[in-house]
Amino acid sequence: MEYLVRLAQCHETFRQPELQAVATLLGIDMEIIAYNEFTPFCVVKLKDEEAARALISRSILAKDILELWGKGTTYEELHADVHQRTKHRWADYHKVTYALAVDCFAGKRSTAKKTEIFESFGYLNLRGEVRLKNPEEQFRVIEDYVTDVEENAIGTQRSSEPRMIYLGRWLAKSDRDIILTHTLKKRKYISTTSMDAELALVTANMALAAPGKVFFDPFVGAGSFLVAASHFGALTMGSDIDPRAFRGKEHERKNGMAMLQNFKQYNIVSQFLDAFTSDVTNTPLRDTALLDGIICDPPYGVREGLRVLGTRDGKVIEPVIIDGVPAHYRKGYIPPKRPYGFEALQRDILEFAVLRLVPNGRLAMWMPTASDEAVEFPVPMHPNLEVISVCVQPFTNWSRRLMIYRRLPEGETSDVTLGRSKTDGEGVSADDLNAFRVKYNNRNASRAEEK
């Protein structure tokens, strides 16, 4: 059976991977029949209505789903398709209360034209009462027009007629409204690096967050990924080399760390496990399969260089005793940190994930790239991880990517020859260590000169 998914017209490269992730999570067999990045409409093949309802209930980038009754580039084609697909079912709907609406994407129809369109479906023989509020069935005629965005991007001619018309029986809406609840504007505790609610939820979806699972963020910050994964029922844990973001300042802590305020706000305190202070290159987590998912947005090192534990010159500072107590046990002790490579850090995250993910567990990692790398950029790879998807969020002069990996069960390996083989390892200045930082700053400098 075919279904029509109406997607949000944003974050285009994330939309198919998210649907596929939800299908994988729920064990739903899904085939994408028609997809176009410039339109919200996507046709999928699913086993039944139950699968369609389940799929949509977990989606963030989809809005709703309809049972597809027909499609065509003209009304003649559409009517013929509706006859062919659903004629045997019309009798089931003769007596239901119903609503029929015409939705135009990027186009317009006059009321008179809409009435004419309604009337052309007279053969469905819907004789029940028309009800705008709470009808038993809602039918939608959906017209999809070419947008100016598409015309500008790839030159498709715009037209006063739709490029595709669908008739669908509306089934259910998605979980998208949760974005309004989770929005950072209304969130009690955030930091400057909090991931926006929509993309945090999508990230959690793509990492297959679900009840019964343990999720971990090694760069937890103010915990935006944890609340997203916990929204989907996972129990979540995080760490950070700098505890200030999750702990909060004195006045921000009420009965516990500041980050917990958000779990209270969303009524998911029971989904929170712990947050602790640690460095991902010296983690205390046992190196055995403990985690079902890891989601993170590692620091990019643009505003400040990346830091891990250690000394800049590599020399060991021997412990000092002050008043009979080793200095490193005294209040206010700050362990020395050294600059670290951006790519080395990503390599360490993959290694961290390989050791601690359960088989088929997922790693979702964000990574920035300068836009000139957009065509071919090296994806960090590991033989024990399969790259499931790479999604791009473009900005004016840079972009960032979300990479999803699957931990391969023992005995399986992936082909890593296309991955990045060298890392930026062991330099000492922030620029030596971070190709992204150099590109980002050079680009901004040249833009400033142009102005």
C-beta of 42 vs 204, nearer to other proteins: 204
Residues that bind other proteins (CB under 8 A): 211-214, 235, 237, 239, 241, 243, 246-247, 253, 256-257, 269-270, 273-279, 282-290, 292, 309-311, 316-319, 327-329, 333, 335-336, 358
C-beta of 123 vs 333, nearer to other proteins: 333
Q: Shortest CA distance to 60 belongs to which of 265, 228, 264, 295?
A: 228
Give 383's contacts (C-beta < 8 A, 6+ positions apart).
413, 414, 416
C-beta of 285 vs 302, nearer to other proteins: 285
Rounded to a whole number of angstroms, the minimum distance from the CB of residue 383 to other proteins is 22
Q: How large is the C-alpha radius of gyration of the chain? A: 26
C-beta of 66 vs 237, nearer to other proteins: 237
Rounded to a whole number of angstroms, the minimum distance from the CB of residue 239 to other proteins is 8
C-beta of 158 vs 244, nearer to other proteins: 244
Rounded to a whole number of angstroms, the minimum distance from the CB of residue 278 to other proteins is 4
Interatomic CA distance for residues 233 and 201, integer angstroms: 12
Rounded to a whole number of angstroms, the minimum distance from the CB of residue 224 to other proteins is 18
Written as six digits, the tokens of 102 are 């015409």
C-beta of 183 vs 282, nearer to other proteins: 282
**Is 329 in contact with 252 (CB distance < 8 Å)?**
no
**Is 213 in contact with 234 (CB distance < 8 Å)?**
yes
Residue type, 206: M
Residue type, 289: A
Residue type, 442: N
C-beta of 273 vs 392, nearer to other proteins: 273
Written as six digits, the tokens of 446 are 């040249």
Q: Residue 179 burial by CB count (10 A; 0-12/13-18/19+): exposed, middle or buried? A: middle
Rounded to a whole number of angstroms, the minimum distance from the CB of residue 240 to other proteins is 10
Rounded to a whole number of angstroms, the minimum distance from the CB of residue 311 to other proteins is 5
Number of residues written out for the chain: 451
Written as six digits, the tokens of 394 are 């473009």
DSSP per-residue letters across 2-17: EEEEEE-SSSHHHHHH
Rounded to a whole number of angstroms, the minimum distance from the CB of residue 291 to other proteins is 9
Interatomic CA distance for residues 30 and 5, integer angstroms: 12
